[in-house]
Amino acid sequence: MVDYEYLFATNLHQKLKETIKGKIFCAIKDNHLYVSIETKEIGKYEYTLNSSFADDLIHGQISTDNVVVEVVKDYRKYIIRQFLK
């Protein structure tokens, strides 16, 4: 992992920890962003950003704040789907 990838993943992890309770894992592999959240009640949730991470970062199209908003929004939908089954 390149330094900017490590810094982005670490910063993203810290911001998600402020909002979400559970085990959070953030990584950038093969130029894709992966987020995994695991809780006893809900189970395992995974989020993948399939766009070219490096290009988006260079062109200013991605930030940790934007990713946190998207992950939290998608995670809430996931939780609601789990309880409505």
Q: Could you read off the pLDDT of 20-53 as tens digits, one per residue? A: 999 999 999 988 999 999 999 889 999 999 888 8
Q: What is the pTM of this model?
A: 0.89
The number of domains in the chain is: 1
Q: Which domain holds residue 43?
A: 3-84
What's the average model confidence in pLDDT over 56-73?
Answer: 93
Q: 25 vs 41, 48, 55, 59, 83, CA distance in Å? A: 17, 12, 22, 25, 23
The reported pLDDT for the residue numbered 33 is: 94
Mean of all residue pLDDT scores within the chain? 92
The reported pLDDT for the residue numbered 1 is: 57
The reported pLDDT for the residue numbered 23 is: 97
